[in-house]
Amino acid sequence: MGLFEYISVLTSIIIGLGIAHLLKGIAQLIQHPGRYTVYWVHLVWVGFMFVTMIFWWWWQFKLTELLVWHFQHYMFVLIYAVILYLICALLFPSDLDEYSGYDDYFYSRRVWFFGLQLVSGFVDLYDTWLKGADHFFALGLQYYTTTLLIAALCIGAMITANRRYHATFAVSLLVYQFFWVFQYWSTQG
């Protein structure tokens, strides 16, 4: 086993737990369709995080080029995975008894959800830098501009409960993520 493979085991477990949490939440919606009010914007964020978790694992392959690992790099990558897991965990709570449905729950936890999204965006900048300066600069102005725009939109989402704002943000970001992935990351190696 190589160094990268050894290091990536724990992050893969954490990412796998996040994916499992999302899938379990979706399965519960299917198993108990009338128990809670489903909210489509919430489901778009579930889809966004599912795709994010899968692509995060895929993007981390670029870390194979890091020949020397310091403990702080390892901890950083672990913390990044934990942040993503926490975002997933916020999407499906253990119970919704205190809420009228997923819309009520989502808006009550929006500061946490978008706060962690905001943090993950800035953490991604350093994660991208870890993969090498050439890689970081090769992503170009689009990457930096989009990161700042998404950060601003997350702050807006933390402040407002406007349903149109949240719907537009969720759908736009999911569509953009697919565009970004297939533009830059459809192949590895």
- Identify residue 170 by its one-letter amino acid code: A
Residue range 35-70, pLDDT digits in tens: 888 999 999 999 999 999 998 888 887 777 777 888
Q: Where does the pLDDT of residue 153 fall: very low under 50, low under 70, confident under 90, or very high at 90 and above? A: very high
Distance of alpha carbon 184 from alpha carbon 186, whole angstroms: 6
- The predicted pLDDT at position 46 comes to 98
pLDDT at 163 over 90: yes
The phi-psi region of residue 13 (left if phi > 0; otherwise alpha if psi is between -120 and 50; otherwise beta) is: alpha
Q: What is the dihedral of CA 25, 54, 76, 91, to 10 degrees?
A: -20
- Rounded mean pLDDT, 111-117: 98
Return d(Cα 126, Cα 170) in angstroms, integer.
24
pTM above 0.75, yes or no: yes
pLDDT, position 68: 81
How far is residue 163's CA from residue 98's CA, in Å, rounded to a whole number? Answer: 21
pLDDT classification of 1: cutoffs 50, 70, 90: low
User: For residue 63, what is the DSSP state?
Assistant: G
Q: Which of 39-53, 79-93, 123-137 has the lowest mean pLDDT?
A: 123-137
In this prediction, residue 189 carries a pLDDT of 53
The residue extents of the domains of the chain are 3-184
DSSP conformational letter for 94: S
